[in-house]
């Protein structure tokens, strides 16, 4: 898994560093460490899990100091055990200490998402079902969070409102009905855009199938109702299941033939991966 191009995260890191540096910079480090002294820091996993965003996170040090030497020890997407050295950073000691929190925050966030995604993907192994994330992402971090989902073996739903048509409950309400909504968007969109409709009842499902939509999302349907929905659809359209699902829920819905299981929790509720940076003692060299 290749990391996104720096164009997607340079500004994110720079803004995070500005936030951390505040108005006066790193008061502690600048008081304790002379300018120019080199140091070495080791980024270490403190739990088992899937690593995502290591190159992104360590890019923090390169932005602070262009000649930072960064050794990546673990490929993106690898599963590691607690205690694994993930990366070694050699740079000005001031650079390492000042950039530490920003780098670890990014790495912890993205690896946490990848780890949660990997756990769910394992539960549906053997089924022809994709685990996907949603647009429930941290504002400004969507590209990185969705990358972390892919690193963990999942897939992405829409990146934004312009990817595809997703007709939801409020769209149906303002359009005056499901059929009106489908026909309305079809009269305006290009031929390459897919149309997905969110349904909450079996009657809506039948109407969506009649309108020959590409994908139907079963939103917050009980397992029993979803089983009935699969019988009604009978392979005519692609089925997505959504609505506060857990990993065990995903396995159940995958077992009845759901094509897609979307989980907003992958990006908005994954526990942060525990990781730390440990400095070697300074030798005073310049």
CATH of the domain at 221: 3.20.20.70
How far apart CA 37 and CA 141 sit, in angstroms, is 34
Q: Which helix (H) or strand (E) holds 58?
A: helix 54-64
pLDDT at 284: 56
Look at the chain and report how many structural domains it folds into.
2
Find tokens 């070697």 and name the residue.
280
CATH number of domain containing 32: 3.90.1170.20
* Residue-wise burial string across 191-209, b where 16 or more C-beta atoms lie within 10 A, e elsewhere: eeeebbbbbbebebbebbb
Q: What is the mean pLDDT of each run of 10 residues along the chain (286 residues)?
A: 89 97 95 95 98 98 97 97 98 97 98 98 97 97 97 96 95 97 96 95 97 96 96 95 94 97 97 98 67
Residue 165 located in a structural domain: yes
Q: Which helix (H) or strand (E) holds 179?
A: helix 178-186
Residue 54 located in a structural domain: yes
pLDDT at 2: 81
Domain that holds residue 151: 122-268
Q: What one-character DSSP code corresponds to residue 257?
A: T
pLDDT at 285: 45
Residue 149 located in a structural domain: yes
What backbone phi and psi angles, to 5 degrees, belong to 190? -75, 165
Tens-digit pLDDT profile for residues 62-79: 999 999 999 999 999 999
Residues 47 and 100 in one domain: yes
Residues 60 and 162 in one domain: no
How far apart CA 84 and CA 276 sit, in angstroms, is 11
Residue 219 located in a structural domain: yes
Residues 208 and 261 in one domain: yes
Please provide the DSSP assignment of 1-19 as one string: -PPPPGGGTHHHHHHHHHH
Tens-digit pLDDT profile for residues 7-41: 999 999 999 999 999 999 999 999 999 999 999 99
Collapse the DSSP code of 190 into the 3-class scheme (helix H, G, I; strand E, B; otherwise coil) and give the result.
Answer: coil
pLDDT at 112: 98
Residues 100 and 11 in one domain: yes
Cβ atoms within 10 Å of 231's Cβ, excluding its own: 9
CB contact at 8 A, 144 and 53: yes
Burial class (CB in 10 A: 0-12, 13-18, 19+), 187: exposed
CB contact at 8 A, 182 and 213: yes
**Residue 218: strand pairing partners:** 199, 241
List the catalytic residues.
101, 136, 168, 198, 219
Pair type for strands 195-199 and 165-167: parallel
Closest to 87 measured CA to CA, from 44, 33, 118, 34 = 44
Cβ atoms within 10 Å of 56's Cβ, excluding its own: 24
């Amino acid at each position: 898994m290749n990391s996104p191009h720096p164009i997607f995260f340079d500004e994110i890191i720079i803004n995070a560093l500005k936030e951390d540096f505040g108005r006066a910079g790193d008061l502690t480090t600048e008081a304790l460490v002379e300018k120019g002294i080199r140091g070495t820091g080791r980024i270490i996993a403190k739990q088992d899990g899937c690593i995502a965003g290591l190159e992104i996170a360590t890019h923090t040090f390169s932005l602070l100091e262009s000649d930072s030497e960064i050794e990546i020890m673990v490929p993106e997407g690898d599963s590691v055990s607690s205690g694994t050295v993930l990366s070694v950073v050699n740079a000005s000691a001031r650079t390492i200490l000042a950039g530490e929190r920003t780098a670890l925050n990014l790495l912890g966030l993205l690896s946490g998402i990848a780890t949660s995604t990997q756990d769910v993907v394992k539960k549906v192994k053997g089924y022809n079902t994709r685990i996907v994330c949603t647009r429930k992402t941290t504002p400004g971090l969507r590209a990185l969070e969705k990358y972390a989902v892919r690193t963990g073996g999942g897939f992405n739903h829409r990146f934004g409102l312009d990817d595809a048509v997703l007709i939801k409950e409020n769209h149906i309400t303002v359009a005056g009905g499901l059929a009106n909504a489908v026909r309305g968007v079809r009269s305006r969109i290009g031929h390459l855009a897919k149309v997905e409709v969110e349904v909450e009842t079996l009657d809506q499902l039948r109407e969506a199938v009649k309108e020959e939509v590409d994908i139907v999302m079963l939103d917050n349907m009980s397992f029993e109702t979803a089983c009935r929905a699969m019988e009604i659809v009978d392979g005519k359209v692609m089925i997505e299941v959504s609505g506060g699902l857990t990993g065990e829920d995903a396995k159940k819905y995958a077992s009845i033939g759901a094509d897609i299981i979307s989980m907003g929790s992958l990006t908005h509720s994954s526990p942060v991966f525990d990781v730390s940076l440990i400095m070697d003692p300074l030798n005073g060299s310049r």
